[in-house]
Amino acid sequence: MPNQRQTVIILGATGLVGSQLLSLALSDQRIASVCAPTRRPLRTHLKLSNPVIDYDKLPDADWWQADAILCALGTTIKQAGNKTAFRTVDHDYVLAAAKRSKAAGCRIFVLNSSLGADASSGNLYLKVKGEIEQALAKLGFESLTFIRPSLLDGGPRPERRYGEEIGLWFGTRLNALIPKRYRPISTQAVAKAMLDAALRPKQGVHIIESEDLHHSIGKS
C-alpha cells in the first residue's frame, strides 16, 4: 500500500479511546487530514474536518472518501438505555458507516472491539461485538483489523461505570498476578495500536488481542 500522507476518518472521536485517537492522528505527520463526524462540534484544528451528523441518517458526502476509517464508536446497555439501543450503536451504526466508506473507496478499516468478542457468546455485549466483527469481515476491506482490549484505563468517564471501576481498582493493585490478557489497558495504548494498524496496514483480517497491546507497550 502507498506511503503517501493519509486521509482518515475517526468515528467516536468524543469517547475515551476516540479522543486519544483524534489527538494522535492530528499530531501525526503521516496524516494529511482527519475527518471526525460527531453529534456535537469539536474544537477546531487545521487538519480537522468535523461534520455534525445524525447516525440514524448518515449523509452522502465526499468526506467518506478516505484512505482509512478508525472506529472507536461504542456504548453500554446502561448508557444506551436498553439492549436494542445498545445494539443499534455498537452494530448498526458501525456497519452503516463501514458500508458508506467502503462504497466510497476506503480500503482500510480498524475497529476497537473487545476482549472475548464472540458472536455465539451468551453475554450480549460480547455477542454484539462478535457479530459486528463478522459483518465487517464480509465487506471486503483490503485491510481489516480488530483491536480487542480488556478493561480500559483512561481516567474518569462522564458517566459512572461501577463494575468497570471495581475491575480497574483490583486490576491496578493485583496487576502482577493477573495474566496480561486480562489486565487493564490504557486507552492511549489502544488508540496507538489503532492508528498503527491504519498507517501500516496488512492485507486481510487481523486481530490484536489485549495481551498483544501490553507487549507493544513493553517494546515502546
Which amino acids are annotated catalytic?
125, 129
Task: Give the C-alpha distances (Å, rounded to integers) separating 158 from 16, 83, 118.
Answer: 10, 21, 28
For 115, residues 6+ apart whose C-beta sits below 8 A from its C-beta are 148, 149, 150, 181, 182, 209, 210
Burial letters 22-50, b for 16+ CB under 10 A, else e: bebbbebeebebbbbbbeeeeeeeeebbb
